Structures are given as C-alpha cells and as structure tokens.
Amino acid sequence: MQAVAQAQPNIALIKYWGKRDVDRNLPAVDSLSVTLDTLWTWMSLEFDARLEQDTLDVNGSEAPSMLARVSHCLDLVVGSGRAFARVESSSNFPIGAGLASSASAFAALVVAADKAAGSGLETNALARLAGAASGSAARSLFGGFVELTATDENIEVREIADSASWPLEVIIAVTAEGPKALGSTEAMIRSARTSPFYSSWLEQQSADLEIARQAVRQRDFAKLAAVAEHNCLKMHSVMWGSRPPIVYWNQATLACMETVRALQADRLSVFFTIDAGPQLKAVCLPEDAEFVRAALEQTAGVIRVMRSGLGPGARLLEQA
C-alpha cells in the first residue's frame, strides 16, 4: 500500500497550448518534448484505511491548495472507493513557476499510486491519467524525446529517441522564483476564446511537429533550433494577442533571448524556448553547454542557472 516514485520535468520543443476538451483535459495540438535528468520530483504515497482524508505535504509543508487536484488524480488511478492517502512530495527546483513542476509531480504521482494500489497499468495508461491532471505531465512518463498525439478520444505518448541517442543539454535561466500570476488552464481557455492568432496556431502545428520529428531523426540541430524557436514564439504571440493579454516574460527573459542570439552569432549550437512562465530554457549541444551556462549566468536579471542533460521517464524507486 506504499510506494515511492521519481519523475523529471519535460520541456516542450513543439508546444502544447490549447485544449480540445477542457473537462477531459485533452490537448488541442500534438507536442514534442525532452525529458530532463537533474531536476526531479520525488513522490511518496501511502494508502491508509485509518486516514479520514487525503493529506499532502510539498517540500516539508502542508499544501491544502493543491490537495483537490491530487485527490482527483488518485481517484482516476485507483477508483473513488479507495482508502485515503498520505502523499509527500519534494522537488529540487522552484514549483509553479513555469518549470513544469506539475509535469514531474503528476507523472511521479500516477506511478506511485499505481504501484501502491497494485493496479499494474501500462505506461500509456498512466500517461493518460497524468495528462488528465496536467497535459504536459503525460510526456514525463517517458524519457528522451517524447511525442504526444491527441485525438477527440484520447492521447498517445511515445518515446521517439532515447536520451543517449542524442544527448542534448538544457540550461535553465531562472529569472523569477514566485508562482506565476495566471495558471496555464485559464490562460489556454482565454487564448482560445480571444486570440485572433489561435486558429493559425492550431493549423500550423502538425507541420511544425513533422519538421521537429525529422530533425530528431536526422540529429539535425539547426533544423530543430529553427522550428522550436518559431513554435515557441508563435505560442507566445497567441498569448500576447489574447484579451486581456497574457505576458509571462519579464525583462530578464528578453535579456536571456538576446544572450542566446549573441551565442548563435558566435556559431554556438543553441536555441531557446519559454513556457508559461518567465524562465528561459536554452537547448544546446554538449560541447557548447558550459559557454551557454556561463553566458546566461552573467545575463542581467538572472537569479540562477540550472543545467540538465536528458533523462529517463517516471519510475518507481522502492516499495515497502
């Protein structure tokens, strides 16, 4: 009745933005991501018949505001007639700040719940359950380069290349550590309702995804860089064009973009991507990673920099 799991966040290179079904949390577009290795969320879970309600502890403190989402996810994995659970999670990076902490948290949660309840679900079934809680979490069930495709019925998630086959590095420039002002679900709904660019975003996604898929297959960094930056900036254009506008960037985010542009002018193999928060993630070849890290660290407004390679999907750590 007890299990511990670990998962890493993933960073989308071709982004998920928009929902085709808000209630079932089904993405409007397909996406492609890389799973990280050095950032992690660790999740311990125990079903206990003596408990009178679920309890949640995040990084050593009770987290009542996140409890409803966690309880709902457990109901989906185990069934609503389940025993209550004691859930403890910790992460080694800021949570709720555009660093995909919900992705690693829900990926680890479904793996731990499945084991603790003895359900024995296969990985794609777990990915669907994690995805119902947080769309991007479905991708953290898998490692390396991960593609998520969505239909009106469901999602399919698969690893298209493993982490060792193209060992890219990701440098994360943290430019603000507080939680984001607007959650991604609310922001996506607003984008779909009000942004004049939303329909073009939907139309162009499969073409972007095909280019990225080819780039991964061919290990073509320049091709991946061009399509990933374009896709990221289109997603943010959809947000900026919403009413009221959704702007997650700050001055340091823009300064980091300039740093990446300068590194590209110096012929380093690096590109940026930014999610629903002010942090910039620079993806690069391993030989350039140290230069990229140092340049972002020196960029005005950067609080700290984290470096990661690509890693495995969510997995069980131990079973009591």
Q: Position 199: which residue type?
A: S
Rama region for 124: left / alpha / beta (φ>0; ψ in -120 to 50; rest): alpha
Stretch that binds ligand PMV, among 14-22, 34-42, 160-168, 196-204 (CB under 6 A): 14-22
Q: Are 172 and 284 in contact (CB under 8 A)?
A: no
Single residue of 275, 278, 293, 305 touching ligand PMV by CB under 6 A: 275
The distance in angstroms from the start CA to the end CA of the chain is 8
CB of 109 closer than 8 Å to CB of 45: yes
Residue 49 burial by CB count (10 A; 0-12/13-18/19+): exposed, middle or buried?
exposed
Stretch near ligand PMV under the rule CB under 6 A, chosen from 56-64, 69-77, 79-87, 130-138? 130-138
Contacts of ligand PMV in 185-244 (CB under 6 A): 185
In whole angstroms, the minimum distance from the beta carbon of 236 to ligand PMV comes to: 9
- Out of 41, 89, 134, 191, the only residue in the binding site for ligand PMV (CB under 6 A) is 134
Closest approach, Cβ 246 to ligand PMV, in A, equals: 11
Pairing of strands 55-58, 85-91: parallel
Alpha helices in 163-274 (DSSP H): 184-194, 198-218, 221-240, 251-265
Per CB under 6 A, 31 contacts ligand PMV: yes
- Contact with ligand PMV (CB under 6 A) among 136, 191, 195, 299: 136
* Contact code string over 66-105 relative to ligand PMV, x by CB under 6 A: ------------------------------------x---
Q: Can you give the binding site for ligand PMV, defined by CB under 6 A?
A: 12, 15-17, 31, 102, 134-136, 184-185, 275-276
